[in-house]
């Protein structure tokens, strides 16, 4: 089990701190304004950990930050620390499920679909061109200058880009700050907006309520992991029992304590 990092050492790319920080509309506005070079006026408070699915039979998604502005543009932002090697298609799924919720039943005018921007922020270069920002729209292969103009935008941000001439200094500072949300990084930022964001992040890290929530979240994840391991062990032990293996043989094969195997077997029998 990984050791729990102290709350004060978390960075904005850490999921817990990102979700907590983005509960604050000012942090969401600052992030979107800098990334998109615009003035974002949110229509409603942002939602974090928003769950969406198209039906009970389909896969659920959990959106890190979901926001909508006064022009009804929808923003979905994700902090992604690990390269899961499926992020382009994951963003496609997110786009599709978000779109499926935008029109009420019976509406036939698809031009009423909201504009949607999906932003993924990562401490690695997903595409290998050394850029800080990769922006994708649908374009025609035969006529490259022809844009589909379907209102969908996907942006992949790399905190470790190498071409500062292609983006604003403030975006570079924001990305560096998100990866290393420390006093040292904040102090060298020329952006007053990032410095103000850092003050809010410091207040968040110093909050007793946040500390308690962080501990509870950590404990819940440990329990979930343990439950997942237990379910896996049950499945493995059931298979071994079907082969008429003894408790001792099962314990040896799975490299776990005999008593633990016996307890799981008892639970399996009680379920019948």
pLDDT tens digits, one per residue of 180-233: 999 999 999 999 999 999 999 999 999 999 999 999 888 877 765 677 777 877
pLDDT tens by residue, 104-150: 888 989 999 999 999 999 999 999 999 999 999 999 999 999 999 99
β-pairing, 152-158 vs 133-136, is antiparallel
Q: What is the mean pLDDT of residues 172-176?
A: 98
240 or 123, higher pLDDT: 123
Return mean pLDDT, the chain.
Answer: 89
Q: What is the mean pLDDT of residues 257-264?
A: 84
Sorted by sequence, the CB contacts under 8 Å of residue 47 that are 6+ apart come out as 63, 65, 66, 67
**pLDDT band at residue 63, thresholds of 50, 70 and 90?**
confident
- List the structure tokens of 213: 């929530």
Residue with tokens 């077997």: 265
Distance CA 208, CA 213 (A): 9
Of 115, 120, 112, 42, residue with least CA distance to 86: 120
Distance CA 91, CA 81 (A): 15
Q: Do 79 and 92 contact (CB within 8 A), yes or no?
A: no
Q: Do 94 and 61 contact (CB within 8 A), yes or no?
A: yes
56 or 18, higher pLDDT: 18
Q: What is the mean pLDDT of residues 11-28?
A: 95
- List the structure tokens of 23: 């509960």
- What is the pLDDT at residue 122? 97
**pLDDT band at residue 1, thresholds of 50, 70 and 90?**
very low
Distance CA 115, CA 38 (A): 15
Q: What is the mean pLDDT of residues 163-175?
A: 98
Q: Do 67 and 47 contact (CB within 8 A), yes or no?
A: yes
Sorted by sequence, the CB contacts under 8 Å of residue 119 that are 6+ apart come out as 35, 75, 76, 77, 78, 154, 155, 157
- Longest distance between any two alpha carbons in the chain, whole Å: 69
Q: 72: phi > 0 → left, psi -120 to 50 → alpha, else beta; which? A: left
Lowest mean pLDDT among 27-31, 60-64, 95-99: 60-64
Q: Do 30 and 41 contact (CB within 8 A), yes or no?
A: no
Q: What is the mean pLDDT of residues 56-61?
A: 54
């Amino acid at each position: 089990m990984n050791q729990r990092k102290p709350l004060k050492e978390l960075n904005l790319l850490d999921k817990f701190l990102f979700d907590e920080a983005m509960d604050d509309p000012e942090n969401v506005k600052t992030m979107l304004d800098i990334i998109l070079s615009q003035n974002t006026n949110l229509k409603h408070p942002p939602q974090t950990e928003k769950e969406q699915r198209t039906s009970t039979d389909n896969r659920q998604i959990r959106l890190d930050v979901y926001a909508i502005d006064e022009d009804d543009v929808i923003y979905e932002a994700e902090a992604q620390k690990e390269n899961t090697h499926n992020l382009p298609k994951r963003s496609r799924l997110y786009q599709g499920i978000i779109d499926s919720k935008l029109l009420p039943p019976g509406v036939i005018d698809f031009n009423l679909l909201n504009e949607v921007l999906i932003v993924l922020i990562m401490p690695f270069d997903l595409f290998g061109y050394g850029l800080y920002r990769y922006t994708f729209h649908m374009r025609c292969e035969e006529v490259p200058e022809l844009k589909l103009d379907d209102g969908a935008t996907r942006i992949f941000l790399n905190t470790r880009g190498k071409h500062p001439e292609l983006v604003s200094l403030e975006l570079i500072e924001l990305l560096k700050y998100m990866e290393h949300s420390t006093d040292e990084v904040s102090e060298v930022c020329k952006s007053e907006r990032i410095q103000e964001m850092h003050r809010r992040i410091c207040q968040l890290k110093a909050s007793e309520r946040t500390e308690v929530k962080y501990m509870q979240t950590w404990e819940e994840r440990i329990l979930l992991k343990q439950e997942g391991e237990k379910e896996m062990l049950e499945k493995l032990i059931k298979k071994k029992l079907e082969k008429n293996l003894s408790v001792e043989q099962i314990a040896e094969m799975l490299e776990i304590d005999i008593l633990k195997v016996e307890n799981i077997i008892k639970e399996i029998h009680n379920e019948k």
